[in-house]
Structure 1
C-alpha cells in the first residue's frame, strides 16, 4: 500500500489526506487500485475525469469507438482536436494532462464474451458506462461470476439510473447470502428496437455529468471501503423534474448468474440476440 506519499502527492491530494475517512492510508489505497472503465463516452467521461483526479492509480479504459463531433456536447474529456481519434487514446491523453500519477491502460476493443473474462480479472473494480444491453449483461455476468464488484449507470434524454453490485462469486450452497445482480432487476433484455438509444432519442448534455459523478463516487467509496454503497438499491434521476427516487433490488432466487446452481461461464449465454440464458 502506497503510504509513503511524495511531497507532490501530499500537495495534490491534500484535501483527501486531511479527511479522517481517507487520510494517507486511504489515498494509498486509491493509488494502488486498478479500475476498469467500460466506455469513454458520456458516462465514461466524468467517471474517468474524477477517478483520475482522485488518484486511482491504474485506469483501464475499454472502448472501440472514435470521437465524433456529435459526442462533444456531453463527452467532456474529448475536444475538437480529438474528432476522428480513438476514444481510448483521447481519454489517455486527457488523463496524462490531468494527473501524471495515473497509469492508463487503453483497451481499444469492443467488450465481448471472448475477452470480457480476461479484462475483468485484471481489475479490482469495474465501472460500466456502456450504452447497450448486450454489454451490460456481459459485464454483469463476468463480474458476478468472478466476484468483482461493479458500478452501473445508464442515461437517456432527461433520465438516468445508477446502482452498485458488490458481486460475490456464486457457490453451490442454498444457504449462501449472495447479493443481487443486474439480472435480478432486469431478467431479460427488451426486444431489439423497443428501447430507443441516445442517437435516436437524444440526451441532455449535462445529464451524464450528474450520473457519472454518482458512479465515480460509488467507485471511490468501494475502494476506500467507507460508507454505504448502492448495493441492493437503484436510484433513478429525472433531471426535468429534478427528482431522485430509489427502489430496492432483491436477489432473485432463480437468478441463473448470482444464485447457486446457475451458469458457470459467459460462454453459456447468447449475448448477440436476447442476452438470454437457456
Structure 2
C-alpha cells in the first residue's frame, strides 16, 4: 500500500444496504477488500465521467454494475454510426440521440438503483469548476488535449482525484492524478507540461483505434475508481500504465511532480490555445470559389476514405510521398498552381503544408489547407453526405 494522499477510502459509508442490494452485490460483499462497508462507500459515491464515448462506455457500465450511487455524464455530442465500432454503451437504436441520454438509458438497464445526472454541455472555463466540485472523483475519458487540461486544472483547484485514460490505435494509457492548489501531487500537467504542436498528435478519428482497446482501458479506469472509493489496493497515483494491444503487454513508468511548474490559479480556455493553427486555411464555404479561380484541391487521405466520401475535383496524393520528398511529389503541372490540401479534419493536411513549405516559400503561388477537412465541408456545404 502506497503512502500519500490516496491511502484511505475517499468516501464515507452510505446508508445500510437493502435486501435487493445485498443480493445484487453479493460478489463484492465476499471480498475482504470491499465487503459491506466498501459497498456502502460505493453507494454513497458521486463520480463524474467526462465523455460517453470509447472510454466512458465501459467505465460507465462497470461503475453502474458496481453500485456507484451517482454517475454524472458529460458529453455534448450525439450518437453517430462511426461511434458504434467502439462506444459499446450505444446501439443502432440510439443513432441521432444525445450520448448522455443513450448512456443513461443503458445505465438504467444495468442498474436502476444508480442515479444518473446528465450534462449535455461542452466543458469550458466557465462551467468546468462548478461541474467538477459537485463530485468526489472524475474519470477523464476526453479525446482532446483542450478538455484534458481543463479537467486537470479544475481537479487541481477543487482537490478532486482524477482517473485519466487515453487510447490511440492499439495503445492505451492510464494514471491517477491528485493534487491541490499548492501542487502537492501529480497532475496531468506533470505528464504533459507543454501543449503538443497542432496536428502533431493524431486523434482517434485520424489515427484509428481498435474497437476493443477502449474496453480494456475504460475497465482499468473503473477499477481505479473503485479502489479510490473503497480504499483498497494501490492506485496508479504517480504511475503511468502503458498497454500495447499488439504485443499484449503492460509496462509502467513513474511520473514525478514538476516542482518548477507554476501553481494552477485558474482554468484557462484551452480550446482556443490547443486549436490555434498557424497554417493558412480556406473555409469550406470559400473552397468552390477558390477552385473556380484556378486553385487545385489535393486530397491526402487514404484510398478507403475517398471511397466513403470525396470532394469533386480533388486530386489524390499520398501524404507519405509529400513527407518523404516534399513538393517533388506534386505532379509537375501543379507546382506552379495555387494548392489547397485537405484530409479528414485538418491534421494531415497541415503536415502536407509543412512538407511543401520550402518550395512555396518564395513563390507567388499560394498554398493552404481546408479548415476542418472534409468533415467540415460535409457539415457546411454538403450536409447529408456520408461521414466516417
TM surpasses 0.5: yes
Q: Which runs of 5+ in 2 are unaligned?
A: 1-12, 277-388
1:128 matched residue in structure 2: 140
Say whether 1:201 aligns with 2:207: yes
Q: Which residue of 1 aligns with 2:267?
A: 266
Contact 1:3–1:25 (8 Å) recurs in 2:
no
In structure 2, distance between residues paired with 1:126 and 1:111: 13
Match of 2:180 among 144, 168, 178: 168
Aligned length: 264
Q: 2:87 maps to which residue?
A: 75
- Three-state SS of the structure 2 residue aligned to 1:272 is helix
Matches within 5 A, 1:96-135: 96-135=108-147
What is the CA RMSD across the aligned residues, in angstroms?
Answer: 1.5
Hey, what's the Cα distance between the residues in 2 that align with 1:102 and 1:96?
7
> Any conservation in 1 of the 2:52–2:99 contact (CA below 8 Å)?
yes
Match of 1:37 among 49, 73, 77: 49
Question: Contact 2:150–2:270 at 8 Å: present in 1 too?
Answer: no
| Alpha-carbon shift at residue 275 of structure 1 (Å) | 9.0
Q: Which residue in the other structure is 1:223 paired with? A: 229
Q: Higher mean Cα deviation, 212-221 or 14-23? A: 14-23
Which residue number corresponds to residue 169 of structure 2?
Answer: 157
Matched residues in 2 for 1:47 and 1:32: separation?
18
| Distance in 1, Cα, partners of 2:275 & 2:235 | 27
Q: What 5-or-longer segments of structure 1 have no aligned partner?
A: 172-177, 257-261
Q: Is the 8 A contact 1:189 1:275 kept in 2?
A: no
Q: Alignment partner of 1:75: what SS? A: coil
Question: Which whole-Å CA distance do the structure 2 matches of 1:96 and 1:265 have between them?
Answer: 36
Provide the C-alpha distance between the structure 2 equivalents of 1:93 and 1:31, rounded to a whole number of angstroms: 19
Residues 55-105 of structure 1, C-alpha deviation per residue, up to 9 Å, x if partnerless? 000000000000011111111110000000000000011011110110000
Structure 1 residue 2: Cα displacement: 2.8
Alpha-carbon deviation of 1:169?
3.5
Q: Secondary structure at the match of 1:236?
A: strand
Hey, what does 1:175 align to over in structure 2?
A: none
Alpha-carbon distance between aligned partners in 2 of 1:263 and 1:105, rounded to the nearest angstrom = 28
* C-alpha distance in structure 2 between counterparts of 1:167 and 1:230, whole Å: 14
